[in-house]
């Protein structure tokens, strides 16, 4: 199967977008089709041979609903335009209709003719579209309903109100489309971190090419102000680099020769030459953008509800409007027909669900955009919404609350010496420890090597034998080095010092002579205390699960003030504990490193990965990825979720409440067409603007 993405430039009608999506899904050969209204993208999967045919069929569907929309294939390496089209021709048409309306309203110069002329100038596109939709069988279209309402008002002699409704409906639609367009560009600008081009050195010349054609191992040049197009490491130059688009971290990072640098970051000061370590499709920026692209397919329960609600809302209101006209007329006679027809027309004007259909998806996508700005990648509106429902947060320990990177804590020289042993020195201990651990990739080995800071000659190492779960036995030119835990010392009959400690100890012996031990520990993350404190204040139940021994787990739990913790667990034990919590009807967020905890991440209500930037496993295993591994980002993601839900709920209550109020006033004869037009386009415009507040929401 092949995935295709089409840009629908100029798409401003959310109701039309829903119809386009539903019609396109019916095309044979298409699967997994979604229309992302917030970014005007239609994404679908298909067999490769069907692509051209399907694109043409989709274009026909789009043009039948929105003739002015351009359908073009998406270029994955091209930035979205930040230009907002003000459509000055449309603005001029509306201006002329408005002037004609006031002339007809305020003068005696053939007022009816001038008003009808204003009506035709403003309403011609609506009338024409409604006729086309009737032919297609789209009766409950907002264009048809607006046409019916205004023609009905003209029929009963309400010329000023009929013209005012059409003129201000069109003006409201224009500004609503403008607000939607600006909102969409604001969201896209937050989430669009794709590079413009790549300057690559080929045959001694620098040339600008698409990032997609740069191969692994080529040298690219990134100048100040430019975005790094591909992952790599610096081979020449130094610079400060802005990584906020990837991690939300506002403090620039310093890079120099040998430093790793990720695509999507921005070079601030000096130029850099970078040797690429991945192609564009495998780069960090590409994977993040793919995650954002797929987020639109995961609609929240609220979005799905509004889509279903919109399908029944309009015909229901139209049905009530018909009954409102017919029943009183039948009961009281034809003399009251005009009065009740006017009241029924008010219902027609407020029957369009645009305020809900536009603002709800925009609200959730604004939440996703705000989260990405903070270095939090959420895979869809459904996960953003369910974060708001979480009541229990379960933490893995290593790599989540602690850094997962060991540091040397203490050096212990032997308390007693053998008769043939000279007084050992710390430098000697570290030398042999570094030699023993030189070829190991274990985190403990790396911490010892970093602390020892010794120059190692690899030719000094003759053989290495790893003793599973115990340590290493290394043959060197200096003799046999044994580095490991107490069990390894006992097996080799080496007398060693037992030092009570919560931390890991690596004992070192050379040629059966004990030199001492190195104590290493895993550091608690700097912001873990603050994150736990904030979550406890907000009333969440917190648990910590770890495979570490009970004393170590207890020490970390006490430092972080987590009362409920479980230690010495296997991955299956963690799974069973989370399953039990879910069975008890808790909404559980599990926070892990995205590697060993994949089954539990998948099981939990929301899986959150401490996914160090660029981690494939973290992105695949979880619903939410914290790009900087900071626990405080959990707090931020929950705050964004709550704010998004709050604003979306505001829009729903405001839109429905206003429409119901106007319908009630219309029913008892106190409503006007002016109220109805506000309840339609006015409410939609306010709801869209309200949704954009989520983009500006600050979590601190």
> Average pLDDT by consecutive 10-residue portion of the chain (700 residues)?
84 79 88 80 82 89 84 67 64 92 86 92 89 77 82 88 87 76 62 76 89 91 90 92 69 86 87 91 71 64 79 85 92 89 90 80 84 83 91 90 84 74 78 90 83 86 85 92 92 88 87 91 89 95 89 90 90 89 94 76 88 59 82 94 94 93 93 88 88 84
Neighbour order of strands in the sheet with 205-209: 205-209, 198-202, 219-222, 272-276, 232-236, 260-261
- Calpha distance 88→71 (Å, rounded): 21
> Which pLDDT score, from 0 to 100, does residue 540 have?
96
> Which pLDDT score, from 0 to 100, does residue 175 have?
80
462-466, long-range: CB < 8 A, 24+ apart: 464/439, 466/440
> Which pLDDT score, from 0 to 100, does residue 80 have?
52
Active site residue 460: no
Catalytic residue among 177, 192, 231, 396: 396
Instruction: Please list, in sequence order, all residues whose beta carbon lies within 8 angstroms of the beta carbon of residue 18, skipping any fewer than 6 positions away.
Output: 35, 307, 310, 357
> Which pLDDT score, from 0 to 100, does residue 423 have?
64
- Calpha distance 191→552 (Å, rounded): 41
Is residue 655 within 8 Å of residue 687, measured between CB atoms? yes
- Domains (ranges, CATH) in the chain? 2-73 (3.30.70.100), 215-278 (2.70.150.10), 386-401+525-641 (3.40.50.1000), 404-523 (3.40.1110.10)
Instruction: Please list, in sequence order, all residues whose beta carbon lies within 8 angstroms of the beta carbon of residue 331, skipping any fewer than 6 positions away.
Output: none
pTM: 0.74
Residue 464, token pair as written in the block: 């290495």
Instruction: Please list, in sequence order, all residues whose beta carbon lies within 8 angstroms of the beta carbon of residue 26, skipping any fewer than 6 positions away.
Output: none
């Amino acid at each position: 199967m092949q995935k295709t993405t089409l840009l629908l430039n100029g798409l401003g009608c959310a109701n039309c977008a829903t119809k386009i999506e539903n019609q396109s899904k019916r095309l044979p050969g298409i699967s997994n089709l979604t229309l992302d209204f917030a970014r005007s993208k239609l994404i679908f999967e298909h067999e490769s041979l069907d692509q051209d045919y399907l694109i043409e069929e989709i274009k026909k569907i789009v043009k039948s609903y929105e003739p002015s929309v351009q359908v073009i294939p998406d270029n994955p390496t091209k930035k979205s335009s930040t230009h907002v089209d003000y459509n000055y021709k449309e603005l001029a048409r509306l201006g002329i209709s408005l002037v004609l309306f006031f002339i007809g309203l305020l003068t005696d110069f053939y007022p009816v003719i001038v008003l009808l002329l204003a009506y035709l100038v403003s309403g011609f596109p609506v009338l024409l579209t409604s006729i086309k939709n009737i032919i297609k069988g789209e009766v409950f279209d907002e264009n048809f309903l607006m046409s019916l309402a205004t023609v009905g008002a003209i029929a009963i002699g309400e010329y000023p109100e009929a013209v005012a409704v059409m003129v201000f409906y069109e003006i409201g639609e224009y500004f609503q489309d403008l607000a939607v367009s600006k909102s969409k560009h604001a969201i896209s600008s937050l989430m669009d971190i794709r590079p413009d081009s790549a300057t690559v050195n080929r045959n001694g010349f620098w040339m600008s090419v698409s990032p997609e054609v740069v191969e692994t191992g080529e040298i690219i040049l990134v100048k100040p102000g430019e975005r790094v197009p591909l992952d790599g490491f610096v081979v020449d130059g130094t610079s400060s680099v802005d990584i906020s688009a990837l991690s939300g971290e506002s403090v620039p990072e310093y890079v120099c020769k040998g430093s790793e640098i990720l695509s999507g970051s921005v070079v601030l000061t000096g130029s850099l030459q970078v040797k690429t370590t991945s192609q564009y499709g495998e780069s960090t920026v590409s994977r993040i953008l793919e995650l954002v692209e797929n987020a639109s397919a995961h609609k929240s329960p609220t979005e799905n509800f509004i889509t279903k609600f919109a399908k029944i809302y309009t015909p229901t209101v139209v049905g009530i409007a018909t009954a409102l006209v017919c029943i009183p007329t039948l009961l009281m006679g034809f003399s009251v027909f005009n009065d009740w027809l006017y009241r029924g027309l008010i219902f027609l004007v407020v029957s369009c669900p645009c305020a809900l259909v536009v603002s709800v998806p925009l609200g959730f996508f604004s939440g996703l955009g705000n989260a990405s700005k903070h270095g939090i990648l959420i895979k869809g509106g459904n996960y953003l919404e369910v974060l708001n429902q979480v009541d229990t947060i379960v933490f893995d320990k290593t790599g989540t609350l602690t850094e997962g990177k060991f540091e040397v804590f203490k050096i212990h020289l032997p308390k007693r010496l053998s008769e043939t042993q000279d007084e050992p020195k710390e430098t000697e201990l570290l030398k042999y420890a570094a030699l023993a651990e030189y070829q190991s990739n274990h985190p403990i080995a790396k911490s010892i090597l970093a602390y020892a800071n010794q120059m190692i000659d690899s030719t000094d190492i003759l053989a290495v034998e790893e003793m599973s779960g115990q340590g290493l036995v290394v043959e060197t030119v200096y003799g046999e080095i044994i580095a490991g835990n107490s069990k390894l010392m006992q097996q080799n009959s080496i007398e060693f010092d037992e030092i009570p400690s919560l931390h890991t100890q690596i004992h070192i012996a050379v040629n059966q002579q004990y030199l001492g031990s190195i104590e290493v520990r895993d550091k608690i993350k700097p912001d873990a205390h603050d994150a736990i404190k904030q979550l406890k204040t907000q009333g969440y139940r917190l648990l910590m699960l770890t495979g570490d021994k009970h004393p170590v787990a207890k020490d970390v739990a006490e430092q972080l003030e987590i009362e409920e913790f479980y230690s010495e667990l296997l991955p299956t034990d963690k799974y069973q504990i989370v399953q039990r919590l879910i069975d008890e009807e808790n909404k559980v967020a599990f926070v892990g490193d995205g590697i060993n905890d994949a089954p539990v991440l998948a099981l939990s209500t929301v899986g959150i990965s401490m996914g160090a930037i660029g981690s494939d496993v973290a992105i695949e295993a979880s619903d939410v990825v914290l790009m900087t591994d900071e626990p405080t980002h959990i707090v931020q993601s929950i705050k964004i979720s709550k704010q998004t839900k709050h604003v979306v709920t505001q829009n729903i209550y405001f839109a429905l409440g206003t429409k119901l109020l106007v319908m009630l006033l219309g029913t008892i004869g106190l409503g006007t067409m002016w109220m109805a037009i506000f309840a339609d386009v006015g409410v939609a415009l306010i709801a869209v603007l309200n949704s954009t507040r989520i983009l500006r929401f600050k979590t601190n």
